[in-house]
Structure 1
Amino acid sequence: MRGSVETPTSRRTEEQVLMGGHMTNDAIGLRDVTRRYDSGRTHVTALDEVSLAFPRGTFTAVMGPSGSGKSTLLQCAAGLDRPTSGSVTVGGTELTGLSETKLTLLRREHIGFVFQAFNLLPSLTAEQNVALPLRLAGRRPKKAQVREVLAQVGLGDRARHRPTEMSGGQQQRVALARALITRPEVLFGDEPTGALDSQTSHEVLTLLRGMVDRDGQTIVMVTHDPVAASYADRVVFLVDGRVNGELIGACAEDIAARMTKLEAVPC
């Protein structure tokens, strides 16, 4: 998909400035990232000096017990939340010093999001929902571009259908297409199959896996499901805001066994 869509010269120039004019092998890099939340006398350290790299063209699952910092990690890595200390780099650009305007532009152009809730506008068709990020960015979407990304997720024949006329799995595919329309550097998923049955979940995860293998897409997915995590190249585990090891190319049974051990560790 990346090579088949025309990109205006002005946009390339803007991106090169924003991205610092250089590229790295890592799509996302976190270095000594700490995120604390203070509320009166309450102090919570959601992330504690986390250092992680997410290489381009890889699929990473993030797992851990409840309250381990998974969602905070995703939010900091995606530029949705600023760390208390440490640095986050997206495609070679350090996020720490960016203004809110530049940070918003970076997220809009280089990062895609898919959540458990599909968050589709019910009054819009599939193609209108997919085109929405481009319209919000002040760009006029080309119908061919929208149809292409819908075809990529297997919905080329459902472009004019509204969400109520589609199954849950089809709605999540529309949400995927919407996230991919800007050709993001990284696709973040926060429990993207959490609301789907096992068969539909398998179809969506197979689609994500294919995007990595076929298109070189970088995916970071937070999940609680060992089966979902087994589609990833590696699984990173968090406990109490710290990285607690990882598994490479693991099956669902091994991932589940690791999670059981982590959840059994006394506080």
Structure 2
Amino acid sequence: MTDTAIELRSVSRRFGSGDNAVTALDEVSLAFPKGTFTAVMGPSGSGKSTLLQCAAGLDRPTSGSVAMGGTEMTRLSETQLTLLRRERIGFVFQAFNLLPSLTAEQNVALPLRLAGRRPSKARVREVLGQVGLGNRARHRPSEMSGGQQQRVALARALITRPEVLFGDEPTGALDSRTGRQVLALLRGMADREGQTIIMVTHDPVAASSADRVVFLFDGRVNGELIGAGADDIAARLTKLEAVPC
């Protein structure tokens, strides 16, 4: 057994070849302990989204390895990877990606239906209740605010009880008040449910909700802050953005 949810070992990801090759990740080694909330930050082009995609099994590294618990993800076939993501990983993105013709409860149940499993109405209502939308089960996305839609997306990610929840700018399209509500939900999932949260963000206020902030620069890890406030995170990010390329 391991206390690490996701571990990257010497992960590199290159795109293209020859003179046109671009190195998005360069020998990155990182461990994400179970039950923790980690924010990943860095200037534009630093490799944040590529890191998330490789860690979540959405993209394969050019070299190095990614492990989820005791499972070496880089050795899995595409079919095995798809099953692992479906059963053990949740995703929340800046775009809510809800189907407009479906109600909140139908959107939440969708991952189970796609997996060929019959969703329990009680479980669907439970996760909607977790995100404060127990009374919105029969509403369609057009009848909800942006924050409510993002919370439906969060409930959809939770329906399979994922071991790790990945967020790619999950509060990027929300106003500050609604963003704080979503971050409080993520914080609570780590604290009360023991879930592992890995979130890419550009927002120091959002990052301050995390236990740890990992900084990337030019595809490499450039230090981290533990339990830092928004001002310290912003100052560190500003220094990175000021570094000449």
| 1:175 corresponds to 2:148 | no
> SS where residue 133 of structure 1 aligns?
helix
Deviation at 1:39, TM superposition (A): 5.1
How much is the aligned-residue C-alpha RMSD, in angstroms? 0.8
Structure 1 residue identity aligned to 2:85:
R
Provide the rounded CA distance (Å) in 1 between the counterparts of 2:210 and 2:82.
28
> SS where residue 75 of structure 2 aligns?
coil
Deviations 1:176-211 (A, max 9, x none): 000000100100000000000000001110111111
Report the counterpart of residue 205 of structure 1 in structure 2: 183
> SS where residue 74 of structure 2 aligns?
coil
TM-score by length of 1: 0.91
Is the CA contact 1:91–1:185 (under 8 Å) kept in the aligned structure 2? no
Deviation at 1:91, TM superposition (A): 1.7
Choose the corresponding residue for 1:114, options 66, 76, 92: 92
Q: Which runs of 4+ in 1 moved over 6 A?
A: none
Provide the rounded CA distance (Å) in 1 between the counterparts of 2:110 and 2:82.
16
Deviations 1:129-161 (A, max 9, x none): 000000000001010010101101111111001
Report the counterpart of residue 129 of structure 2 in structure 1: 151
Provide the rounded CA distance (Å) in 1 between the counterparts of 2:196 and 2:77.
25
Choose the corresponding residue for 1:136, options 107, 114, 122: 114
Identity of aligned residues (%): 86
Provide the rounded CA distance (Å) in 1 between the counterparts of 2:189 and 2:75.
32
Provide the rounded CA distance (Å) in 2 between the counterparts of 1:91 and 1:40.
35
Deviation at 1:101, TM superposition (A): 0.7
TM-score by length of 2: 0.99
Provide the rounded CA distance (Å) in 2 between the counterparts of 1:32 and 1:39.
20
Structure 2 unaligned spans of 5+? none
Structure 2 residue identity aligned to 1:236:
V
Structure 1 residue identity aligned to 2:204:
P
Report the counterpart of residue 69 of structure 1 in structure 2: 47
> SS where residue 183 of structure 1 aligns?
coil
Structure 1 unaligned spans of 5+? 1-22
Deviation at 1:24, TM superposition (A): 1.3
